[in-house]
Amino acid sequence: MNTNRRKFLGLALATATFAAIGAAAANAASVEEIKSKGTLVVGIQGDNASWGFVNSSGKQDGFDADVATLFAKELGVKVQFQPLAVANRIPALTTGKVDILFATMAMTEERAKAIQYSKPYAANTISLYAAKADAVKSPADVAGWEIGVPKSSSQDKAVTDAVGSKATIRRFDDDAATIQALISGQVKAVGGNQFYGQRLDAASAGTYERKIDFLTTYNGVGTRLGEKDWNETVNAFLDKIKGNGELAAITKKWMAIDLPKFPESIPNIPFTVK
């Protein structure tokens, strides 16, 4: 390839990149624009009970749906849910396909480079789930196992960090596919959130149990980097529902636990736009 050809291709790539960034910026609406429009498009999980799922009536339901509905009410607009696969959550936000993420977004340093997190509003314990008949007391006991996780999820990172050198990590599109992989015998265990026990028991009562807790993560609302209006509006809303008991009621409803104590800060994960 000659020099002129390389320069041309480089210029074409740069032009395409700037065009994509410009298109995303054009699609991104401010808080006031959403209020004028009258509809908030929320990115959410559609198959991860009890965080976000489509119920038997075909409506979006779950913990995140309840919190997002309250937020839309706070803005005085209607809520429109856009169910997203785990790996598609951040791209949907950054390209302007959704206005905001209430999508079980565990707060990680890597994600904080791509999106702006709010203050935490939920806690999530990541654990290993396997058959009761399989004796597991420590990570060393899963050597040689195949373990399923939803790709690009907090479970993926937690399980890979903890046992990836000992076991084979198999990545599936979402939580439902990961759970089905365990039930169908494709994997010997799965890395799941605190609701996996309920879902596995519903599919095969008494067969599976939680074996090892890897870590507790915190979930934040996701907005685009640099959008101070969204970040400040969301944080003010979260402070309000933490203070008036509404978040505690939603937590009790879906998780059957009291509202957790949230950290004031997490290293390298800012809660506010400077």
What pLDDT, in 10s, does the model give residues 107-165? 999 999 999 999 999 998 999 999 999 999 999 999 999 999 999 888 999 999 999 99
Burial of 242 (0-12, 13-18, 19+ CB in 10 A): middle
Of 20-24, 90-94, 164-168, which gets the smallest average pLDDT? Answer: 20-24
Instruction: Please give the sequence-ordered ranges of beta strands (E in DSSP) within the chain, or none if there are none.
Output: 39-45, 47-48, 52-54, 60-61, 78-84, 100-101, 116-131, 146-150, 168-172, 189-192, 208-223
Tell me how far apart the alpha carbons of residues 122 and 141 are, in angstroms, rounded to a whole number. Answer: 31
Asked if 83 and 52 touch (Cβ cutoff 8 Å), the reply is yes
Q: pLDDT class for 9, splitting at 50, 70, 90?
A: very low
Cα 154 to chain centroid distance, Å, stands at 8
d(CA 22, CA 233): 24
The confidence band for 25, taking pLDDT boundaries of 50, 70 and 90, is: very low
What's the confidence (pLDDT) of residue 252? 95
For the cut 80, the answer to whether the pLDDT of residue 14 exceeds it is no
pLDDT (tens digit per residue) in 46-93:
988 899 999 999 999 999 999 999 999 999 999 999 999 988 999 999
User: Mean per-residue pLDDT for 189-212?
Assistant: 94
- What are the pLDDT digits (tens) for 202-235? 999 999 999 999 998 999 999 999 999 999 999 9
| For residue 152, cis peptide bond before it (omega within 30 degrees of 0) | no
The answer to whether the beta carbons of residues 156 and 150 sit under 8 Å apart is yes
For residue 196, pLDDT beyond 90? yes
Rg (CA), the chain: 20
Q: Is residue 239 over pLDDT 80?
A: yes
Predicted confidence at residue 49, as pLDDT, reads 86
Residue 120 and residue 113: Cα distance in Å, rounded? 17
The answer, as to whether pTM is greater than 0.85, is: no
**The three-state (H, E, C) secondary structure of 114-168, written as one string:** CCEEEEEEEEEEEEEEEECCCCCCCHHHHCCCEEEEECCCHHHHHHHHHHCCCCE
Query: 3-class DSSP state for residue 186?
Result: coil
Given a cut of 70, whether residue 27 has pLDDT beyond it is: no
- Element counts in the chain: helices (H) and strands (E): 10, 11
